[in-house]
Structure 1
Amino acid sequence: GVTSSRRIERLCRENIVFMALGADLQPDHSTIADFISRSPETISALFTQVVMTCDQLGLIGKEMFAIDGCKLPSNASRQWSGTHEELDKKRRKIDRAVRRMLQRHREEDTAATEPDIHEREQAQIKKLRAASRKIKTFLDTEPERRGVSGAVVKGNLTDNESAKMKTSHGVIQGYTGVAAVDDRHQIVVYAEAFGQGQHAAHGECLPKNVIAL
């Protein structure tokens, strides 16, 4: 299938099937990406309808399914990842930095310091305070998660459903995407993203979903 928003945009301009399905609206890739990110339940319901239609047409054999997965990066910064203990330690470190800067600022007030230096320091203090508030709000509102092994899963301030995981290209903040494909016509009958890195654990939930067919 086609999952890239840019490829879908191009196909909506060039491919007659996509033009018909899109009512010849030819949406921009950013519009497509925004719709998908804001409408997960709608996309899931549409996917279910497509699979049911394929089943009604006899395109799904229901005898053998291939299951595979891959790790996908999310749009989240790794610097905002950590356990509650690690993030609280980072918040306290930021608060100490703010106090030091304020002390230095008071000392410089008595000296002939350039005005633009004060402005830069004030901007930095404002930025650090905002970061501290962001961490505190996260710690107050988001419960700490645990993985299938019982170990604490590092949260992320910008995308707390994602997780830090190792890949062949290094460590990423992202998801494990898992899919099941029917062998008759290679139709994807199940797909989901998990904020954990263990493929085996995700495989346990697949039979329950595939068996529903």
Structure 2
Amino acid sequence: MAYVQGTHRLQTAIFCLEDFIAPDAPVRVVDAFCEQIDYVALKVRGRYTQDNCRPCYHPSLLLRLFIYGYLNGIRSSRKLAQECTRNVEVMWLCNSLLPKYHTIADFRKRHGEQIREVFRQFVSLMCRWKLVGKKTIAIDGCRFRAQNSRKNNYNEDKIRRQLTYIDHKVSEYLAEMNELDRKENKKQKDEKRLQELAQNKTRMKERKSLYLHLKKQLEQSTDAQISTTDPESRAVVHKTGVVEVSYNTQVACDAKHSLVVHYAITNENDRKALHPTAMAAKESMGMHKGDPITALADKGYFNGEQIQRCSEDNIRTYVPPTYNRSQESIPASGYHLEDFRYHPSCDTYTCPEGHTLSTNGHWYKKVYIRSEQTRSTSYFKHYKTDKCMQCPAKHLCTVQKKGRVIERSQYAEAIEGNSKRLRQHKEIYLKRQQIVEHPFGTIKRWWGYSYTLMKGLRKVGADMGLVYLCYNFKRVMNILTTGKMLQKLQMMST
């Protein structure tokens, strides 16, 4: 039977790398985009690779390599260095240069801010190509596992449990050693057991000294936990209820094509991130501070102060309120806070029974402690009436002996406006998931980038910057097609 025969491996051939790259190949788009970047303005720092001051690689080479790698699921610097020797597209992209893995890794960990600026420049391109609507953004946080195991993350309770366990084990070892010492006729195996117990006791004391050192560090720190492998990572609860040591990324997506217009790496929760993220997104899209925009976020971002600041900067928020535990003390429906009518002109409330609740005008201070790391302070007024004690509906309205008391926060007006928008336009808020969950599903499920390769906020920022840049890159290629995107980039260079 005849088979198709190939060219012999020893056959001499004349060819160039250009012949192997298709005219509309994505690697050409990467090359064209990197040609548009002003590397002098980015202030990319060069580095000599040998003691004899051999010239360093141009930063465009390493940036091309990283963008190509992240687009094709290759994030490791060692694997990228390997691709330079066997991948025809990478050979064409890098002009057959062979940077070492250490040189590749150094570029990523030392240029987090420059990578962020490249991301911003690509966002500007998306705005220029009318791919960003600049009307509605969706904000959410996404957690990526850090290079720090749960075993190497400690808090006060964990250290206390370990110290208690060590003291208990040491007591057991001492008791068994004393029992063996009281025996008159010691056998050889008893001597071995004594040595084993002594070694165990020494090992436990060493562990105890380590935990005492961690306890001292925790007492001197303002944080409630310590990570020993990556000190800036934090243990957080994921949506599945599993605790993982992670970093939190704040992301703002434009509603038109679910393109990421801003990202920020933090090790905190979402509670104080609404206003900074929305303002950074407006700046990234080239909008002025007072330009109107709609921001959608889940209940983890609900914060009166943040909603108030968004309102002052012309940001219309759609954030569902968190569950109010004070509602549990209301015996019957129809007497919740939303059933009381507020009158701004006279600063009073009218209850469902028609009684007027007034305030003495004094602002009270309340400190909310949601965790050892999260504390917030707010001011509020009390509203009450003397007629509450004689009201026949008192047993339906409150369980308090002195009658119903309403607390009105200093941010109540902004919160009420936010709640009113949610009630009147539920269809707007329902778009949040399909806007902002699209990048997370693509990055974490399809690409498998559910963790970070770097340690520390600055280096993790570079890793995540490349991830979100490549997400936008691939999505724009899908929207415009590769050929049209390449054509637009080439027209910019002429």
Equivalenced residues, count: 197
Structure 1 stretches lacking a partner, 5+ long: 146-152
Q: Which residue of 2 aligns with 1:205?
A: 276
129-138 vs 61-70, greater mean Cα deviation:
61-70
Kindly indicate whether the alpha-carbon contact (under 8 Å) linking 1:80 and 1:156 is maintained by their aligned counterparts in 2: yes
2:236 matches 1:164: yes
Matched residue of 1:5: which SS? Answer: coil
Instruction: Determine the C-alpha separation between the residues in 2 that align with 1:127 and 1:27.
Output: 39
1:148-187 to 2 correspondence within 5 Å?
Answer: 153-160=224-231, 161-168=233-240, 170-181=242-253
Instruction: Determine the C-alpha separation between the residues in 2 that align with 1:212 and 1:17.
Output: 37
**Which of 213, 216, 219 does residue 140 from structure 1 map onto?**
216
Deviation at 1:179, TM superposition (A): 2.7
Instruction: Determine the C-alpha separation between the residues in 2 that align with 1:65 and 1:96.
Output: 55
Q: Which residue of 1 aligns with 2:112?
A: 44
Describe the superposition over 1:36-88 as per-residue Cα deviations: whole angstroms up to 9, x where unpaired. Answer: 6xx3xx242222331354367x3445726554432222333434545424423
- The structure whose RCO (Cα within 8 Å, separation 6+) is larger is 1
Instruction: Determine the C-alpha separation between the residues in 1 that align with 2:168 and 2:117.
Output: 55
Describe the superposition over 1:129-162 as per-residue Cα deviations: whole angstroms up to 9, x where unpaired. Answer: 33322222122123253xxxxxxx5544544531
Kindly indicate whether the alpha-carbon contact (under 8 Å) linking 2:170 and 2:201 is maintained by their aligned counterparts in 1: yes
Kindly indicate whether the alpha-carbon contact (under 8 Å) linking 1:98 and 1:125 is maintained by their aligned counterparts in 2: yes
2:176 matches 1:104: yes
Instruction: Determine the C-alpha separation between the residues in 1 that align with 2:95 and 2:188.
Output: 65
Kindly indicate whether the alpha-carbon contact (under 8 Å) linking 2:163 and 2:208 is maintained by their aligned counterparts in 1: yes
Instruction: Determine the C-alpha separation between the residues in 1 that align with 2:96 and 2:127.
Output: 26
Instruction: Supply the RMSD in Å over aligned alpha carbons.
Output: 4.1
Matched residue of 1:205: which SS? Answer: helix
Using the size of structure 2 for normalisation, the TM-score is 0.32
The percent of aligned pairs where both chains have the same amino acid is: 13
Matched residue of 1:25: which SS? Answer: coil
Q: Which residue of 1 aligns with 2:146?
A: 74
Q: Which residue of 1 aligns with 2:94?
A: 20
Q: Which residue of 1 aligns with 2:205?
A: 129
Q: Which amino acid aligns with 2:159?
A: L
Using the size of structure 1 for normalisation, the TM-score is 0.64
Kindly indicate whether the alpha-carbon contact (under 8 Å) linking 2:237 and 2:243 is maintained by their aligned counterparts in 1: yes
Q: Which residue of 1 aligns with 2:445?
A: none
Matched residue of 2:187: which SS? Answer: coil
Kindly indicate whether the alpha-carbon contact (under 8 Å) linking 1:71 and 1:177 is maintained by their aligned counterparts in 2: yes
Q: Which residue of 1 aligns with 2:264?
A: 192
Deviation at 1:206, TM superposition (A): 1.3
Q: Which amino acid aligns with 1:163?
A: A
Larger radius of gyration: 2
Instruction: Determine the C-alpha separation between the residues in 2 that align with 1:18 and 1:162.
Output: 41
Deviation at 1:120, TM superposition (A): 4.2
Q: Which residue of 2 aligns with 1:148?
A: none
Aligned CA distance change for structure 1 residues 16 and 125 (closer, same or farther; 3 Å)? same
Instruction: Determine the C-alpha separation between the residues in 2 that align with 1:183 and 1:17.
Output: 38
Instruction: Determine the C-alpha separation between the residues in 2 that align with 1:134 and 1:60.
Output: 54
